[in-house]
Amino acid sequence: MNGIAENGIIEILSEVGNKGYIGVTINIYESLMLLSCRRMGVQYLFSGDYDLSFIENSNVHVVFDASGNRFSPTEFPEDMDSVFTGR
């Protein structure tokens, strides 16, 4: 998790986990990650009325749809290998 969360969060999770598993409920994990990422400058979009076209030419690394797919699905490239390899 190097670089994904602050060291303090990683330490907390390692203390309550076992053999590489996270030992907290998902809502606690999500809250810790949200707070940590906000402190690291991650920007969030909380809206039911959104336009994701701004992502196309940006330097976005990760997009999560935490709506349970209640909004219209996000279109992804057919060839996901090109996304990961840059080819």
User: How many separate domains does the chain show?
Assistant: 1
pLDDT of residue 57: 78
Structural domain includes residue 58: no
Structural domain includes residue 16: yes
pLDDT of residue 3: 65
Structural domain includes residue 25: yes
pLDDT of residue 38: 83
pLDDT of residue 29: 80
Structural domain includes residue 53: no
The burial class, CB within 10 Å (0-12 / 13-18 / 19+), for 5 is buried
The candidate with the shortest Cα–Cα distance to 36, out of 3, 70, 60, is 3
pLDDT of residue 15: 79
Helix, strand or coil for residue 86?
Answer: coil
The candidate with the shortest Cα–Cα distance to 32, out of 63, 4, 65, is 4
Structural domain includes residue 12: yes
Please say if the pLDDT value at position 56 is more than 70. Answer: yes
pLDDT tens digits along 22-54: 777 878 888 888 888 888 887 776 766 767 777
| Amino acid (one-letter) located at 16 | V
Domain that holds residue 23: 7-39
| Amino acid (one-letter) located at 4 | I
